[in-house]
């Protein structure tokens, strides 16, 4: 049994018109049709409790922290009481690789690989890529020391996160759960993959969502949301891996917040 | 490379990595105690600085050198320590 | 509800591509770490060695294919087929929980950039749940029912993923939600880019030593981990489900503890408080006291930091008894297979429990005053082992501990 204590989401204004997205590194022939990015720049999103952190965070991770940090006040009493009994459950794709670095490696001798790789790449780039570090970084900001579960199934990740949070609450492993997800249009090939998953009129849209669950309320059967996978009937938007959670959080209810940071 | 230019390169590298404010870094600034650098940040600073000085910089060697000069108990280093090390190399 | 049992296992690893081969090499103290320069990587590459799977002896499955027969698919297929050998189609699999790595990766990007052709890669391999889909395809091909998507779970907690996958599934089975699950993890990234990624973080050893000497957990001359690869698939099920199909339990999965350091991305807390908590939670979850743990399967990566902190944590958890609790590190033989490591160590724990033998920690060359426990140096040792604590600590500070018991 769980109760939604708080929920929030970050999505582009509903009147924003979709555009075709191009990536310089991919050349003129590559474009992702029908997309909407959030207006927030990476620099704005990078204004975080630790000013160094953004350097090791991809855009999805920045979005995850943007929504996650909005739960700080409501989670603070739980964390203060017992930080091990607050859990964090995320759904997120892995962060981007460095396309410029990979381009620099093209048409070079194998013997030069390591030298060129090192010269063109920040050591923190790999930290951006690892999917669990997006959740870990948010946990560091909030001081959550309970279970951190990062689910990376490209469509069902949020459902896995919700169900695991519900499970941990029902089995008295935690007192509060932060469930969150984020999707960005930062990585060209990831965008292409998601575009292939949702052809036609679906608008690929950046976004993030977070909710706080506590014990109480009624037993939730999150698997009922399975039928919503890929459902664009209402807004025609698809928020990638974060879609299910964003749409759940958008659903009109008390404590609904639409955030523009 | 003269010391002033070298300091400027070191300052810029550290500022980029640690996202400090303009003017915050001084020669006396300690990387850990004052600027909050962690182990991963040293690798990152090293990578940025190598673009200016065009050779590898291993902070472990910088610390070893510093401990020889100032004693084994030294745990932190200043921006000037880095500049001094690079001037000699 | 009864206990949760491991009833089947399959493996592709640097020390064997079957449970029997793995067992033989594990207990013999054999090393799967090989020279990779001039083979997997160029001669001039900064990293000389890694734990490599022998691809020649991997099972080829009739339905395997796609544009590229990628290693993650080959390893997962091989280990899953071995694990499924004694599972009939009547033995319903309720879930798959697997530790998997990133979806879109360096190789995908390089192939597309070079070919300028978006169809030049297998897009199914660009999903993080790619390995799960391989397992689903195998189940379908063999006539098994396939778990629903709700129960096909890809987890990632970096180096803690294997234990997390096993622990999550164990809890669901123990609660009655599931009867039987496929669990495990796969890491097939001993390639140039991934090796460089860890190298740039200063995590790998590059010492000029013979490959089999390179991974030195807890030794005073350790200088970083050796990268490894592999896939391990386990079947875990409730006692009731196991008895109903007259299967044999290989070992029990008794306890699970999961905490987060919430400290730094690449450094653990100096006081190891969250590591200690995870170990204690796992022991408590198993219904045991600390003095009932007979052995530890360490995370034991061969880095200065992890091995020191893990030793410190063991002393805090076990107190004066700590020096009497043997600690083995499988990574001394296989290297570190990150998301698959926990599952590989689970296999090793099962073998130790079945054979009543402690696995060795190789290459304990020089004592380290901060690492002064009994690490079962260099050779296996007979012991009475009822319960093993298995530790995994991941980048980002995720600490996942399991307790295994004799069947």
pLDDT band, residue C66 (cuts 50/70/90): low
Residues in A 50-79 with any Cβ partner in B closer than 8 A:
51-52, 54-56
% of chain C with per-residue pLDDT over 70: 98
> Mean pLDDT of all residues in chain C?
96
Whether residue C67 is predicted with pLDDT greater than 50 in this model: the reply is no
> Mean pLDDT of all residues in chain A?
93
- Residue C246: what pLDDT? 96
C212 is a catalytic site residue: no
Residue-wise pLDDT for B34-74, tens only, equals: 999 999 999 999 999 999 888 788 999 999 999 999 998 99
Residue-wise pLDDT for A167-217, tens only, equals: 999 999 999 999 999 999 999 999 999 999 998 889 999 999 999 999 988
Domain residue limits at A80: 2-95+130-250
- Residue A233: what pLDDT? 75
Whether residue A258 is predicted with pLDDT greater than 50 in this model: the reply is no
C299 is a catalytic site residue: yes
Structural domains in chain C, CATH included, are 4-244 (3.40.47.10), 254-406 (3.40.47.10)
- Residue B46: what pLDDT? 94
Whether residue A224 is predicted with pLDDT greater than 90 in this model: the reply is no
The residue-averaged pLDDT of A134-150 equals 98
Instruction: Give the span between the Cα atoms of A197 and C283, in whole angstroms.
Output: 43
Neighbours of chain B (3+ CB pairs under 8 A): A, C
Whether residue A121 is predicted with pLDDT greater than 80 in this model: the reply is yes
- Asked if C287 contacts C254 with a C-beta cutoff of 8 angstroms, the reply is yes
Contact A118 C200 (CB under 8 A): yes
Specify if A106 maps to a domain: no
pLDDT band, residue B6 (cuts 50/70/90): very high
Contact A55 B20 (CB under 8 A): no
Contact A113 C45 (CB under 8 A): yes
- Residue with the bigger pLDDT between C337 and C2: it is C337
Q: What is the dihedral of CA A239, A240, A241, A246, to 10 degrees?
A: 10
The residue-averaged pLDDT of A47-76 equals 97
Instruction: Give the span between the Cα atoms of C362 and C376, in whole angstroms.
Output: 8
Interface test with B, best of A52, A101, A117, A125 (most B CBs within 10 A): A52
Residue-wise pLDDT for C295-305, tens only, equals: 999 999 999 99
Q: Using CA of residue C235, residue C239, residue C245, residue C248, what is the dihedral sign?
A: positive
pLDDT band, residue C2 (cuts 50/70/90): confident
Structural domains in chain B, CATH included, are 3-88 (1.10.1200.10)
Q: What is the dihedral of CA C164, C170, C176, C179, to 10 degrees?
A: 110
Whether residue A99 is predicted with pLDDT greater than 50 in this model: the reply is yes
ipTM confidence score: 0.96
* Range with lowest mean pLDDT among A232-236, B42-46, C322-326: A232-236
Does the CB of A43 have a partner CB in chain B at under 8 Å? Answer: no
Q: Which among C78, C144, C159, C401 is annotated as catalytic?
A: C159
- Can you give chain C as a three-state secondary structure string? CCCEEEEEEEEEECCECCHHHHHHHHHHCCCCEEECECCCECCCCCCCEEECCCHHHCCCCCCCCCCCCCHHHHHHHHHHHHHHHHCCCCCCCCEEEEECCCCCCHHHHHHHHHHCCHHHCCHHHHCCCHHHHHHHHHHHHCCCCCCCHHHEEEECECECHHHHHHHHHHHHHHHCCCCEEEEEEEECCCCHHHHHHHHHCCCECCCCCCHHHCCCCCCCCCCCECEECEEEEEEEEEHHHHHHCCCCCCEEEEEEEEEECCCCCCCCCCCCHHHHHHHHHHHHHCCCCHHHCCEEECCCCCCHHHHHHHHHHHHHHHHHHHHHCCEECCHHHHCECHHHHHHHHHHHHHHHHHHCEECCECCCCCCECCECCCCCECCCEECCCCEEEEEEEECCCEEEEEEEEEC
Interface test with C, best of B36, B37, B40 (most C CBs within 10 A): B40
- Residue C63: what pLDDT? 58
Min Cα–Cα distance to chain A from B80, Å: 22
Specify if A210 maps to a domain: yes
Min Cα–Cα distance to chain C from B56, Å: 12
A-chain CB neighbours of C398 within 8 Å are 132, 136, 148
* Range with lowest mean pLDDT among A44-58, B46-60, C327-341: B46-60
Specify if A111 maps to a domain: no
How many CA within 13 A on the CB side of residue C65? 2
Contact C201 B38 (CB under 8 A): no
Residue B33 belongs to what H/E stretch?
A: none
- Residue C65: what pLDDT? 54
CATH at residue A88: 3.40.47.10
Specify if A120 maps to a domain: no
Specify if A117 maps to a domain: no
Domain count, chain A: 1
- Residue B1: what pLDDT? 74
For C273, which residue in chain A has the nearest alpha carbon?
Answer: A145
- Residue A259: what pLDDT? 39
Q: Say if pTM beats, i.e. exceeds, 0.90.
A: yes
Contact A52 B43 (CB under 8 A): no
Whether residue A89 is predicted with pLDDT greater than 70 in this model: the reply is yes
Does the CB of B18 have a partner CB in chain A at under 8 Å? Answer: yes
Residue-wise pLDDT for C157-173, tens only, equals: 999 999 999 999 999 99
Min Cα–Cα distance to chain B from A50, Å: 9
């Amino acid at each position: 049994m769980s109760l939604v204590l708080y929920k929030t989401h970050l999505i582009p204004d509903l009147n924003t018109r979709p555009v075709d997205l191009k990536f310089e590194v991919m050349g003129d022939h590559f474009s992702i049709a029908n997309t909407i990015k959030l207006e927030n720049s990476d620099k704005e999103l990078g204004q975080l409790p630790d000013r160094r952190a953004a350097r090791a965070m991809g855009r999805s991770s920045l979005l995850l922290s943007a929504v996650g940090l909005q739960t700080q006040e409501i989670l603070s009493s739980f964390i203060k009481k017992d930080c091990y009994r607050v859990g964090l459950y995320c759904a997120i794709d892995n962060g981007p690789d460095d396309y410029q670095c990979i381009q620099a490696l093209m048409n070079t001798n194998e013997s030069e690989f390591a030298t060129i790789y090192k010269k063109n790449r920040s050591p923190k780039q790999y930290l951006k890529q690892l999917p669990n570090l997006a959740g870990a970084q948010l946990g560091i900001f909030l001081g959550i020391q309970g279970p951190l579960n990062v689910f990376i199934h490209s469509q069902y990740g949020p459902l896995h996160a919700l169900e695991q949070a519900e499970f941990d609450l029902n089995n008295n492993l935690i007192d509060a759960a932060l469930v969150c997800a984020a999707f960005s249009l930062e990585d060209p090939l990831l965008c292409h993959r998601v575009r292939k998953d949702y052809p036609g009129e679906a608008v690929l849209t950046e976004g993030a969502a977070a909710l706080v669950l506590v014990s109480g309320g009624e037993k939730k059967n999150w698997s009922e949301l399975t039928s919503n996978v890929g459902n664009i009937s209402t807004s025609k938007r698809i928020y990638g891996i974060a879609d299910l959670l964003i749409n759940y959080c958008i659903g009109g209810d008390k404590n609904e917040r639409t955030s523009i940071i | 490379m003269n010391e002033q230019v070298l300091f400027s390169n070191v300052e810029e590298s550290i500022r980029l990595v640690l996202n400090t404010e303009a003017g915050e870094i001084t020669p006396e600034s300690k990387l850990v105690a004052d600027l909050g650098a962690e182990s991963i940040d040293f690798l990152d600073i090293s990578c940025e600085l190598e673009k200016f000085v065009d050779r590898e910089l291993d902070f472990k060697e910088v610390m070893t050198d510093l401990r020889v000069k100032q004693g084994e108990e030294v745990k932190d280093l200043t921006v000037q320590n880095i500049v001094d090390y690079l001037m000699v190399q | 509800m009864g206990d949760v049992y491991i009833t089947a296992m399959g493996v592709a690893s640097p020390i064997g591509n079957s449970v029997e081969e793995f067992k033989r090499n594990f207990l013999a103290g054999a090393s799967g770490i090989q020279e990779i320069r001039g083979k997997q990587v160029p001669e001039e590459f900064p990293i000389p060695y890694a734990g490599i799977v022998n691809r020649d002896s991997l099972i080829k499955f009739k339905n395997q294919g796609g544009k590229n027969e990628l290693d993650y698919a080959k390893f997962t297929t091989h280990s899953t087929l071995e694990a499924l050998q004694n599972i009939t189609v009547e033995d319903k699999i309720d879930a798959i929980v697997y530790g998997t790595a990133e979806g879109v990766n360096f190789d995908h990007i390089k192939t597309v950039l070079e070919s300028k052709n978006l169809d030049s890669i297998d897009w199914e391999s660009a999903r993080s749940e790619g390995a799960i889909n391989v397992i689903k395809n195998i189940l379908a091909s063999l006539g098994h029912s396939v778990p629903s998507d709700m129960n096909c779970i890809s987890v990632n907690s970096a180096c803690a993923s294997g234990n997390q996958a096993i622990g999550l599934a164990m809890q669901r089975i123990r609660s009655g939600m599931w009867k039987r699950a496929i669990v495990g993890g796969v890491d097939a990234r001993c390639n140039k880019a991934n090796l460089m990624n860890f190298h740039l973080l200063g995590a790998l050893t590059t010492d000029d030593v013979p490959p089999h000497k390179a991974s030195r957990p807890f030794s005073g001359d350790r200088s970083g981990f050796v990268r490894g690869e592999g896939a391990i698939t386990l079947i875990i099920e409730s006692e009731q489900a196991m008895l109903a199909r007259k299967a044999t339990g290989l070992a029990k999965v008794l306890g699970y503890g999961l905490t987060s350091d919430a400290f730094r991305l690449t450094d653990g807390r100096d006081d190891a408080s969250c590591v200690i908590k995870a170990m204690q939670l796992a022991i408590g979850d198993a219904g045991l006291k600390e003095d009932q743990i007979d052995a530890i399967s360490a995370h034991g990566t061969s880095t200065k930091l992890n091995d020191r902190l893990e030793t410190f944590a063991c002393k805090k958890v076990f107190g004066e008894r700590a020096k009497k609790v043997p600690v083995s590190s499988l990574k001394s033989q296989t290297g570190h297979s990150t998301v698959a490591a926990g599952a590989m160590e689970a296999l090793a724990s099962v073998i130790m429990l079945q054979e009543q033998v402690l696995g060795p920690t190789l290459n304990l060359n020089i004592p380290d005053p901060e690492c002064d426990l009994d690490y079962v140096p260099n050779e296996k040792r007979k012991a009475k082992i009822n319960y093993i604590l298995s530790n995994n600590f991941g980048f980002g500070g995720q600490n996942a501990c399991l307790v295994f018991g004799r069947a």
